[in-house]
Chain A
């Protein structure tokens, strides 16, 4: 049956495969695996994976306090162990109290443990200068991805010309394109302006929307801020303009804010969509429908494996919320350790608590290292002929543009590869550095990029930058 095609490979499905192959470099993985197995001699002794935003895998240390509390929750007998600080024990007790049977092994409510949702609401209020947040509008999730896909499922409907269209930035994080392909939604691309630090222009949003109305029913506008892969941090003015646009055009706003603590550039500041929405007054705050997303995978925590996250929904119709509850209940509940971790992120040690000093030291160390690496990366890449790099204002990546000689482009075509995939494969083969080709994220026709994380430790990152510089020069020469 499968030989006849259980799974029909439509054009969309193939594109979706390409994006995913790029994202997790699964197409590169077999290559890596085979080479390792064969003990092949290479001009490098290790592969440096600067492809996925996985901080711990690149040596970033977890926050001690978080791990202590999670250990206490996993094995509560440790509550008797004097080596654990009192504030950690207190948090663990509170979390366990809220769990069924006082165990993180029990299912939680589908929307997430109630006291944790309350803590998340308080965190949002504090972050947004006191603007109220209702715990009933908070849905805990398995990473932010789970919540993003859930909302998309809720919004995608219709057939033919009425099929839901979803606006997403190019370049974008391929979860969106994959989810849209999977749901059979129409992807509506709006291009970020590379010449202006990847900024978002309303004229471009209008162009994209107007063109899309010919063939679908645009209902959703997704924005990633700080951006992935591009690293830009949108200005407050820009966020206001986007909200205004969403209201005028009756679009549901999805604000992916998982990198909200990762802001490095001078003059840049994270402005939450919710805060700006409410500061624009009731005309907007009472009407614009929105969901904003956060996660425990990024920022200074980097706890990708725990799969913690949440979304806050604003101005959803109560009947829609009732369906949303049913939708999330199908997957029972988000992982409880992830929920517990999220609780600690929104409820970290306070100045008068024993763990505060260590916590702040660790947090500051992570964020300042990232800021330094962001600066270093931009600086070094911009000295390499053929590579231009916008400032890494935030998030965890750089998305430099590479100029490829025509001969290289032709060679790629010969091999049936997209040009920047060809570039990345060669870089892996010759220097042992694993990046993700820009084609996986989307880019303007005729331009090529790669995405590199700034996560390797500083000394290693310097080596990586140096090797890429050497490779770029050598590659350009080979194909000149």
Chain B
């Protein structure tokens, strides 16, 4: 399904940048700026950073600020603590995992590379090739990472009709399909989803763990959006907790790696540009742990500022701290997601669009019901139908979104992906509705 060479990767992004440049130069278009909701980057979409985090980072970078009375006391104290952990100050290479940010966890490594989750599992020299089960739809970098490492991505389809539910029968089918093609060793799960905005129920999580245990699959769980859950009666259930609560034999044997990041709403901050996150490893053989440590050592260390940001986010200001009030006002506010419901309602009401409830994550992934005429036109232009739609939406509506085929979808279905940024949602809805009605009319 995916071939890195064939992916027309970045063509839309290049065009979006071109248009942005043209607008800067004063070229007239039906809009004054491009609404960029393509990536999960909320700063780019206008979100303000958290003052506390930025103040501490500034003081770590330039320690004379620790004596500045312009910074609150808790900021100065935290900066001092963080620098105390960095021998020589924040320019230092941290010996991998030396900053013991999570003393209560063992086996936590900082990650800063998308392919890191898969590296230890994929043996380039294996024959047959290693396989990793991945959801469809899925973050497109995942597929690139896997194929780049010489492994096989084995798709399992989430059920759009059931709110993108993960069905064990489908996992079984996917596993069967791998016979003779590759040797599946891992099951990659994204919860909450990306691009599809589902949140797995506890029942679903337990089913998946049981399946992984039965089939002896290593569980790779991407939980980057765990702080963005807003569906009614939805709750984030961490795989680690679920495994542990299942008790023996699961708790002692299911091998698991769960991932988080500072890019995606960790306590309300989204510092994608700092490039930091972590992986927690559960039930790994000590010999494999040693290898993993060595593997991480090869890449020197995670950017130190990112590590510091990560630490701040796991231990934000508390009631009584000077920075608490401001933090409370802005931080969780970034996660007030009433507007996401509005986004869902409006889009769902447009003819030719349908979308299950958006329960969590950073994106909407509505389905486009394109007319045969539109599909034909796309074919003539040599474009995937949803790319055609997204291209027109960019050119005419000034909205930069991602075409569904880049994330994977059932044959014959089309989708678009856009981030549900609070800053831009009103304008996004206005332009999308207006463009969509015209488009559907043109191709009726």
Contact indicator A104/B274 (Cβ below 8 Å): yes
Task: Report if B46 contacts A (CB, 8 A).
Answer: yes
Whether B112 contacts A305 by the Cβ 8 Å rule is no
Task: Point out the residue from A52, A76, A179, A330 that lies within 8 Å of B93, measured CB to CB.
Answer: A52
For residue B418, CB closer than 8 A to chain A, the reply is no
Which residues of chain A (71-116) have a CB below 8 Å from chain B? 71-72, 74-78, 81, 83, 99-101, 103-109
Within 8 A of A (CB), among B25-70: 36, 39, 41-47, 49, 51, 54-55, 57-59, 61-63, 65, 68, 70
The reply on B434 being an interface residue by CB < 8 A is no
CB neighbours (8 Å) of B93 from chain A are 52, 54, 57, 297, 304-305
5 nearest A-B pairs in the assembled complex, by CB-CB distance: A100-B44, A305-B304, A336-B273, A71-B62, A75-B58
Give which listed residue, A72, A101, A330, contacts B43 with CB less than 8 A: A101
Q: Is the CB of B91 within 8 A of A303?
A: yes
Query: Contacts A56-B91, A305-B90, A326-B9 given; 10 further ones with Cβ under 8 A?
Result: A2-B284, A16-B294, A26-B293, A26-B297, A56-B89, A101-B47, A107-B39, A179-B298, A326-B144, A329-B141
B300 on the A face (CB < 8 A): yes
Q: How far is the CA of A256 from the CA of B126 in the complex (A)?
A: 32
Residue pair A332, B114 in contact (C-beta under 8 Å):
yes
Say yes or no: is B96 at the interface (Cβ < 8 Å to chain A): yes
Would A178 and B298 count as touching, CB distance under 8 A? yes
Give chain B residues whose Cβ lies under 8 Å from the Cβ of A10. Answer: 125
**Does chain B have a CB within 8 A of A21?**
yes
Return the contact of B303 from the options A75, A175, A337 (Cβ within 8 A).
A337
The interface stretch among A62-70, A209-217, A275-283 is: A62-70
A71–B39 CB distance below 8 A: no
Inside 8 A of A383's CB, which chain B residues have their CB? none
Does residue A338 face the partner (Cβ distance < 8 Å to B)? yes
Q: Is A152 an interface residue (CB 8 A)?
A: no
Chain B residues close to A by CB (< 8 Å): 4-5, 7, 9-10, 17, 36, 39, 41-47, 49, 51, 54-55, 57-59, 61-63, 65, 68, 70, 86-96, 112-115, 120-121, 123-126, 141, 144-145, 148, 185, 216, 218, 255, 263, 269-275, 284-285, 287-288, 291, 293-294, 297-306
Q: How far is the CB of A182 from chain B (nearest CB, A)?
A: 7
* A105 and B43 contact, CB distance less than 8 A: yes
The answer to whether A306 and B304 have CB atoms under 8 Å apart is yes
Chain A residues with CB under 8 Å of B270's CB are: 105
Q: Decide: B94 and A105 in contact? CB cutoff 8 A.
A: no
Q: Report whether A142 and B272 are in contact in the complex, using a CB–CB cutoff of 8 Å.
A: no
A7 to B46, CA, bound (A): 44
Asked if A335 and B284 sit within 8 Å, CB to CB, the answer is no
List 14 contacting pairs A-B, 8 Å CB cutoff, sorted by A.
A6-B185, A23-B297, A24-B297, A62-B91, A75-B57, A81-B70, A99-B273, A306-B304, A323-B4, A330-B114, A331-B113, A332-B141, A336-B275, A337-B273
B61 touching A142, Cβ below 8 Å: no
Q: Is A325 an interface residue (CB 8 A)?
A: yes
Q: Interface size of A by Cβ–Cβ distance < 8 Å? A: 78
Minimum distance in angstroms from B329 CB to a CB of chain A: 16
Q: Are the C-beta atoms of A335 and B273 separated by less than 8 Å? A: yes
Do the beta carbons of A304 and B41 come within 8 Å of each other? Answer: no
B125 touches A305 (CB 8 A): no
Whether the pair B293, A305 counts as a contact (CB closer than 8 A) is no
Could you tell me if B288 and A6 are in contact, using CB atoms closer than 8 angstroms? Answer: yes
B92 and A29 contacting across the interface, CB-CB below 8 Å: no
Docked Cα-Cα span, A145 to B112, in Å, equals 13
- CB pair A1–B92 under 8 Å, yes or no, is no
User: Which residues of the partner chain B approach A26 to less than 8 Å between Cβ atoms?
Assistant: 96, 293-294, 297
Partner of A305, one of B92, B123, B275: B92
Contact code string A187-231 (vs B, CB < 8 Å = 1, else 0): 000000000000000000000000000000000000000000000
Q: Inside 8 A of B255's CB, which chain A residues have their CB?
A: 1-2
Q: Mark A20-60, 1 if CB is under 8 A from B, else 0.
A: 11011010010000000000000000000000101111111
Q: Which residue of A lies closest to B96 (CB)?
A: A24
- Residues of chain A lying within 8 A (CB to CB) of residue B39: 107
Q: Mark A327-343, 1 if CB is under 8 A from B, else 0.
A: 10111111111100000
User: What separation, in Å, do the CA atoms of A26 and B218 have in the docked complex?
Assistant: 26
Q: Are A54 and B294 in contact (CB under 8 A)?
A: no
- CA of A312 to CA of B399 in the docked complex: distance in angstroms? 33
CB of A105 within 8 A of CB of B126, answer no
Does the CB pair B43–A100 fall under 8 Å?
A: yes
Task: Check if A3 is an interface residue, CB within 8 A of chain B.
Answer: yes
Pick the residue among B4, B9, B46, B294 that contacts A17 (CB under 8 A): B294
Decide if A357 is an interface residue (CB 8 Å cutoff).
no
Residue of B nearest to A305 (CB): B304
Instruction: Verify A106–B273 contact, CB threshold 8 A.
Output: yes
Given the interface contacts A331-B113, A335-B303, A337-B303, does A57 sit within 8 Å of B88 by beta carbon?
Answer: yes
Q: Contacts A7-B123, A81-B70 given: A103-B43 contact, CB under 8 Å?
A: yes
> A105–B42 Cα gap in the complex (Å)?
9
Q: Which residues of A contact B299 (CB under 8 A)?
A: 145-146
Per the bound structure, the CA–CA distance linking A54 and B93 in Å amounts to 7
Give the distance in Å from the alpha carbon of A385 to the alpha carbon of B147 in the complex.
54
Does A238 make an interface contact (CB < 8 A)? no
> What's the least CB distance linking A10 to chain B, in Å?
6
Contacts A6-B185, A20-B298, A325-B10; is A305 near B91 (CB within 8 Å)?
yes
> Is A29 a contact partner of B95 (Cβ separation < 8 A)?
yes
B91: A residues at CB distance < 8 A: 55-56, 62, 302-306
Which chain A residues lie closer than 8 Å to B141 at the CB level?
A: 329-330, 332
Q: Nearest CB to that of A61 among chain B residues? A: B89
In the complex, the answer to whether A338 meets B62 with C-beta atoms within 8 Å is: no
CA distance A334 to B273 in the complex (A): 8
- Nearest-Cβ distance from residue B354 to partner chain A, whole angstroms: 30
Chain B nearest CB: distance from A195 CB in Å?
32
In the assembly, what is the distance between CA of A146 and CA of B58, in Å? 26
User: Is B305's CB under 8 angstroms from A67's CB?
Assistant: no
Instruction: Report whether B4 and A326 are in contact in the complex, using a CB–CB cutoff of 8 Å.
Output: yes
Closest approach, in angstroms, between the C-beta of B215 and any C-beta of chain A? 10
Distance in angstroms from B92 CB to nearest chain A CB is 5
Q: Which of A56, A182, A305 is B301 in contact with, Cβ under 8 Å? A: A305
Q: Is the beta-carbon distance between B305 and A335 smaller than 8 angstroms?
A: yes
Which of A6, A29, A60, A329 makes the CB contact (< 8 A) with B9?
Answer: A329
Tell me which of A3, A24, A304, A331 contacts B115 (CB under 8 A).
A331
Which residues of A are found within 8 Å of B86, using beta-carbon distances?
Answer: 305
B-contact bits for A142-186, CB 8 A (1 contact / 0 none): 110110000001000000000000000000000100110011100
